[in-house]
Structure 1
Amino acid sequence: MKKVIFLVDMNAFFISCEMTRNASLASVPAAVAGDPKKRTGIILAANYEARSHGVKTAMVLHEALKRCPEMILVSPDLTFYKQKSREVMDLLSNYSPIVEQNSIDEAWLDMTGSEGLFGTPVEAAKHIMDEIKDRLGLWCSVGIAENKFLAKMASDMKKPLGITELWKDDIPIKLWPLPVKTMHGIGAKTAEKLERIGIHTIGELANFDASLFVRTFGKNGNDIYLHANGIDHSSVHPHRADEMKSIGREKTLPENISDIEKAKIVLIELADHIGMTARNHGKKGRTVQITLKYSDFRVVTRQTTLSATFTTREIYQAGCSLLEQNWNRNHAVRLIGLSLSGFQEEDSLKQLSFFDLKEDPGKNDKNQRIDQAMDKIRSKHGTEIITLAALVKKETI
């Protein structure tokens, strides 16, 4: 099976985090800087309005202000940025259990074999980009390739909000014409050495004498040479013991709704996606949570406990019960969310719930067989080939 690796790179991350809590920064040149009060230090991150004036990351602050005197400066808040980073990584873990965080604002995902869940690689990347934007208010770019190095290079090719594929067949056209200094893993000093021996592009490096290159640049020379040829055998290694802590989906509605039956149809769609993701990763959860965001932007979350499950029907029933208990037709809803969690709890700590007593074990087996049959068909023919009857019989939101 062909490997599919994503590199998700957050765009202008620090200042974008600041814009999520101060919307006025989004429409003017702004940057996170070392010491805005003393006007010393360097630019840590600039938004795209500031970049249009020539402001760049790591630029000395007084030079940046010469280029853009009206730029608003914000003091860095690393604690806040780390929290936003955790939110991004938790969201990414819904798409793959194999997520390797490379820095505070980027991560590799091994998406191999996920086409049955999320569609083509480009479609999956669009899902990720839209969900990060809608749920977290942040922008990202996604590089798609068959190894980590090419995915990293692809992620830098189009910003902001770019999706770029860089497969091995694309290397001569997309990778080799680039300046050698843009290659991931090559610093300024190495780039200078390469240019002194006549290597100015990645293509020239890829076609250089391999043995001579290794003798010149030592033990790292072989890796650099292989990367220039698009070869990278390293695997995506998750840094956390349990990369997937929850599986969740949200849907912002095209219009506010007060009809609970319409809300239930949205809930079926969310439960179907969550159940399929959970089964794909072998994750049975015991906690189902719903999120309701009202037209006045007030948010309500409610959760319940049930027997460990990954069947769509049980996830939907739990969510539906919570929906019925908390629905208020006098308050229009603009967003509905559903999630499954509690994957690592011990069986001995399991809390019996209404669902444990109500469901027939034989019926649960039947639900699981139905789900698995649907998953198998979707994996082979795509997610749109088969769907739940309720989503066909009734008009969806």
Structure 2
Amino acid sequence: MKKVIFLVDMNAFFISCEMVRNPYLAGKPAAVAGDPKKRAGIILAANYEARAYGVKTAMVLKDALRLCPGLVFVPPDHSYYEYKSKQVMDILEGYTPIVEQNSIDEAYLDMTGTEMLFGKPTESANCIMNEIKNTLGLWCSIGISENRFLAKMASEMKKPLGITELWQHNVPEKLWPHSVKSMYGVGAKTYEKLNMLGIQTIGQLAKYDRSLLFKVFGKYGNELHDHANGRDFSLVQPHTAGDMKSIGRSTTLPEDLTDIEKAKATLMELTEEIGITARKFGKRGNTVQITIKYSDFQAVTRQTSITPTCITKDIYEAGCRLLEQNWNRLRPVRLLGISLSGFDKDCAKGQISIFDIVQDSKKCDTNNKHDTQKKHEKIDRAMDSIRMKHGMGKVVRATLANRKQQSDK
């Protein structure tokens, strides 16, 4: 039976998510971007109205504004994007159990043998695209082929809302004329080396001496040659929660810090995202690690063991202890990071209402650590639920609220 592989690629995912919950952005050039007052002031995702002006991902904000003076900036909300990504993946799993999430906004599907259920590949692709669009308000493009590489290349050929078939017999006509720079997996350095060999198109790479490619690139040379000829023998492999080895977040600070209290507030922001992700995937970690990078770009990492947890408070307190033990006010800090790993058993799942928390609090024995931990977890989950629906800013911990008030003065 001939393999049928889809690559579903969400179009302008971050900003599309923002447009779903904020209809005001519809029809306006807009982009998700880091704070221009911070060092992360770049475009993370631009909608198609903004792209028409030449605004691109990774562009510095001042350059984007020069091209599009009316560009609307939206701060990133990664927890919300993960929530929307999970909704997309849930839809995809309704079409095949073999779904491999490749990133937050794309996934491979093995659709082999599903024609009796959903029709021919283009018909089932249309079903998927329309369900995502009608149910979630999000757009996607879908590449169809008999292997992963060609499906990925096909998905890039028509955006937005494009469905493209690229089978192996189409390769000479549809793939070979393209620049080798457009080939999935070819980065800037590889492109430069290929150009030095006189290779400028995918067709030229496909016809190049395989043994010479091996001499220049090693085993990767064989892979390049196979891909250029439309060959890819890798399988679509579904990820499971057990594949997750760690959950980490880091940030470059808006200014070098010597004040540990400001560093702790930043650590809390990062820990919030880690806790949300741990609870989402049902993970408890017993190892907390922090990363401190100084203004001279030297970095240190320190870790500690804790009772397995997915509670934000526990992770944060462990991170703060490490920070206090390793803080040097004479060395300005430019980056902070924290991670949770050593996953043990599943974190109890399920959502809870604020009213349940109040009732449970009255019954809670404050001398019983287990009950206290259970209460904190329920509070965290209630906050998660509110944030996923209405945004991270709707529920803020007191320490972060105080920090914002001070910065606004």
TM-score using structure 2 length: 0.58
Alignment-mate amino acid for residue 112 of structure 1: T
For residue 196 of structure 1, report the CA deviation from its aligned partner: 1.7
Q: AA paired with 1:33?
A: A
**Native 8 Å contact 1:8 1:141 kept in 2:** yes
> Are 2:33 and 2:74, in contact at CA under 8 Å, matched by a contact in 1?
yes
Question: Could you say which residue in structure 1 is the equivalent of 2:162?
Answer: 162
- Superimposed CA distance per residue, residues 161-219 of structure 1 (whole angstroms, 9 cap, x where no aligned partner): 00000001110111000100100011011111111211000000000000001111112
| Aligned position for 1:153 | 153
Residue matched to 1:32: 32
Aligned to 2:2: 2
SS in 2 for 1:27: coil
2:201 pairs with 1:201 = yes
Please give the secondary structure, in 2, of the residue aligned with 1:97.
coil
Q: Secondary structure at the residue paired with 1:57?
A: coil
Pairing 1:53-202 to 2, within 5 Å after superposition: 53-202=53-202
1:45 paired with 2:45, answer: yes
- In structure 2, what is the Cα distance between the partners aligned to 1:128 and 1:16? 17
Distance 1:241 1:31 in 2: 31
Is the 8 Å Cα contact of residues 150 and 230 (structure 1) preserved in structure 2?
yes
- Residue type of the alignment partner of 2:28: V
> How far does residue 60 in structure 1 lie from its aligned partner after superposition?
1.2
1:316 counterpart residue number: none
Distance 1:184 1:52, change over 3 A: same
Question: By how many angstroms is 1:107 displaced?
Answer: 0.1
Q: Which runs of 5+ in 2 are unaligned?
A: 243-409
* 8 Å CA contact 1:40, 1:61 repeated in 2: no
Amino acid at match of 1:95: Y
Q: Give the CA deviation at 1:40.
A: 5.8
Q: Is the 8 A contact 1:36 1:74 kept in 2?
A: no
CA distance in 1, matches of 2:185, 2:70: 35
The 1-side partners of 2:24 and 2:197 are apart by 49
Which letter maps to 2:43? I
Which amino acid in the other structure matches residue 84 of structure 1? Answer: K
Alpha-carbon shift at residue 112 of structure 1 (Å): 0.1
Shift of 1:240: 2.0
The list of structure 1 runs, each at least 4 consecutive aligned residues, that deviate by more than 3 angstroms after superposition, is 36-40
1: CA distance between counterparts of 2:192 and 2:16? 33
Using the TM superposition, give the Cα deviation of residue 38 of structure 1 relative to its aligned residue in structure 2, in angstroms.
Answer: 5.8
Give me the whole-angstrom Cα distance separating, in 2, the residues matched to 1:40 and 1:184: 27
Tell me the alpha carbon deviations over residues 65-105 of structure 1, each in whole angstroms, 9 at most, x when there is no partner.
11001000000000000000000001100000000000000
Question: Normalising by the residue count of structure 1, what TM-score does the alignment of the two structures yield?
Answer: 0.60
What SS does the aligned partner of 1:84 have? helix
Within 5 Å, which residues of 2 pair with 1:258-273?
none
The answer as to whether partners of 2:144 and 2:165 remain within 8 angstroms in 1 is yes
1:44 aligns to what SS in structure 2?
strand
- In the other structure, the counterpart of 1:222 is 222
What does the per-residue CA deviation read over 1:125-165, in whole Å, with 9 as the maximum and x for residues that have no partner?
00000000000000000000000000000000000000000
Matching residue's letter, 2:34: G
Q: Which amino acid aligns with 2:131?
A: E
Q: Report the Cα distance in structure 2 between the residues aligned to 1:178 and 1:51, rounded to whole angstroms.
A: 22
Structure 1 residue matching 2:62: 3-state secondary structure = helix
| Distance in 2 between residues matched to 1:153 and 1:7, nearest whole Å | 9
* d(CA) in 2 for partners of 1:195, 1:205: 10
Task: Work out the CA distance in 2 between the residues paired with 1:147 and 1:40.
Answer: 37
Distance between the aligned counterparts of 1:60 and 1:82, measured in 2?
24
Q: Whole-Å Cα distance in 1 between the matches of residues 40 and 154 of structure 2?
A: 34
- The 1:133–1:35 alpha-carbon spacing in structure 2 relative to 1, beyond 3 Å, is same
**Is 2:15–2:45's contact at 8 Å kept on the other side of the alignment?**
yes
Q: CA RMSD for the aligned pairs?
A: 1.5
2:36, 2:42 within 8 Å by CA — same for their partners in 1? no
Alignment of 1:341-356 (within 5 A): none
Q: 1:126 to 1:151 in 2, by over 3 A?
A: same
SS at match of 1:41: coil
3-state SS of the aligned residue for 1:45? strand
CA deviation profile, 1:230-265 (whole Å, cap 9, x unmatched): 0000000000269xxxxxxxxxxxxxxxxxxxxxxx
Is the contact between residue 177 and residue 201 of structure 1 (CA under 8 Å) also seen in structure 2?
yes
Secondary structure in 2 matching 1:35:
coil
Report the counterpart of residue 17 of structure 2 in structure 1.
Answer: 17
